[in-house]
Structure 1
């Protein structure tokens, strides 16, 4: 069945089948034979994979999952989700299965299970400014991805990777949540920047106030930031580290296409540099990490910064057994 010749009835049938498979595969008693049947269905037509991927995203949103859903091609070795009560499983499954029906979608919205708007945004080789459905504006740095979901009681953004600057429309009754790694930023209306690399996150506040937690599953509202302050956390931190920052302009220099390294150790600078590299750098040892670097660099030409490092610092570039570029100290000439 080709995607271009698909009738509305056929398309609806594929969507319903994708929902049913999504529901069944998340059940703990799903058999190996059923998974084989699913694999055959998934590979029968390109539209099957497209619709199933969309259904996985809806499932993830409806369950408030913090981990990404598996890609459609991964049809074996599926992780089994934590066991939930029967009524929860059926409620979510019904919402997913009947999402195309206005009444079910409306009920899901009223109960706070499903959003009435869900959008995905990305920026690749250039920065991008987008306006979210609630009127908030977001600037995306190079190589950044985020999704926006509008629920009855909150607005939720998930920063998948990269960096974003937010100008949030004020709505005290409808808080704005940004999820990054294991933590969360909660606001009603303000301007702030969120930087993420792997499991490290930095939140810099420009205007207003925000509440930052290093793990959104922990109780409490988190730590409050005031303008000119920054919060840092990584996976496993019990609480974010809060500190004043006099370098707000440096933190936001990416909006002008610049990376500012203000006399940082290589250990601190590498995550900022690696954010722009397809193949990240690593340090040979702690002594190399203590060397300092400063300067202003073009974010679209970070590879030139890497190649110039041996010219400005006593380091060598080499490759390890995994093929990654390694920075190691060398004796000064």
Structure 2
């Protein structure tokens, strides 16, 4: 947790780069050197691969859109790279307005017949997906839903969501989160994501969890009261059992429960709610333990309260993030 978080401008730059590489890798004149440069860029940060996969999904949809006859085409103005995502989505919507194109794209599995975007900022938000599934979105959460012929697909872009999935064995429900995915037919489960870390808690039914959607196989199966965790670079998820006193779903009641966790464990749970993520001065600071029950809407005041309950003091780094520092040890008296 000592690594500085990315700024909004840096996130925008990653999106721009993902759009650039998506276009270059599909170009006929793409060189081996460019492909090598792309691989180096993709592997440099977990968000690079995540943004590229999201851009590739849009490309795959737009690539199969019907093209108008040349005589009817006005002079083409190439959109700036930054607007590529909006351009591709708009093109997809236009295609869906054409009955024949929509019918063909649906039957071939290229295009969804419905697309929904949801976001929750300051309040927990309850939504109904196009298939009737119910989803509860935690604060600062964003996801999309697309209904394809062969699967119902949710992309969790950030945050946390609790799913009650309508059962349909012939039409699987797939949640993509960071590099992995969760595949179900009908069940109740929770997905938490912060940066490249993902945690899946199963309440009812069963799910298959894979830590990297590009790897072969369906992943590991969870049963009720089981949990899976994964992060960037994990070949398989880490599986564990949850118990009756598990507090992972306390957010649905507006609470965050920290049960004597180290700051290394606690900060990912806290930081997803903060405007400015908390940082650690060094690795030893992360071993300090913290507990308590907090209102998720009031966590921006969490940092200022820490010196009152822990042997720490706060500073700020050059990006303005609060940094937790351990209090100096008093020399022993002879």
TM-score normalised per structure 1: 0.73
Which whole-Å CA distance do the structure 2 matches of 1:95 and 1:289 have between them?
46
| Residues 314 and 332 in structure 1, CA contact (< 8 A), matched pair in contact too | no
Aligned-pair CA distance for 1:199: 0.5
Match of 1:271? 268
Task: Indicate the SS of the match to 2:308.
Answer: helix
Runs of 5+ consecutive residues of structure 1 not aligned to the other structure: 1-22, 31-55, 65-71, 79-93
Write out per-residue CA displacement over residues 54-104 of structure 1, whole angstroms, 9 at most, x where no aligned residue: xx898346279xxxxxxx76459x9xxxxxxxxxxxxxxx98874431101
Cα distance in 2, alignment partners of residues 74 and 95 from structure 1: 17
Map 1:114-263 to 2 at 5 A.
114-246=111-243, 249-263=246-260
Q: Distance in 2 between the 1:187 and 1:164 partners?
A: 15
Q: CA deviation at 1:187?
A: 0.3
5+ residue gaps in structure 2?
A: 1-21, 30-54, 64-78, 85-90
Residue 287 of structure 1: aligned partner: 284
Alpha-carbon distance in structure 1 between the residues aligned to 2:222 and 2:212 = 16
Measured after TM superposition, the shift of residue 157 of structure 1 is 0.2
Would you say the 8 A contact 1:58–1:96 is kept in 2? Answer: no
1:154/1:175 contact within 8 Å kept: yes
- Deviation string for 1:206-254 (max 9, x for gaps)? 0111000000111001001111111000111111100112266410000
Deviation at 1:163, TM superposition (A): 0.2
- Distance (whole Å) between structure 2 residues aligned to residue 127 and residue 266 of structure 1: 25
Residues 311 and 24 (structure 1), Cα distance of their counterparts in 2 relative to 1, 3 Å cut: closer
**TM-score, reference length from structure 2:** 0.73
- Report if aligned partners of 2:190, 2:201 keep a CA contact under 8 Å in 1: yes
Aligned residue for 1:250, secondary structure, equals: coil
CA contact under 8 A between 1:95 and 1:104: conserved in structure 2? Answer: no
User: Which of 304, 308, 331 lines up with 1:307 in the alignment?
Assistant: 304
Q: Is the 8 A contact 1:315 1:329 kept in 2?
A: yes
Q: Whose relative contact order is higher, 1 or 2, with alpha carbons under 8 Å and at least 6 apart?
A: 2
Q: Which residue of 1 aligns with 2:313?
A: 316
For residue 325 of structure 1, report the CA deviation from its aligned partner. 1.2
Cα 1:232–1:318 change in 2 (3 A) is same
| Residue pair 2:276, 2:320 contacting (<8 A) in 1 also | no
Please tell me the root mean square deviation across aligned C-alpha atoms, in Å.
2.8
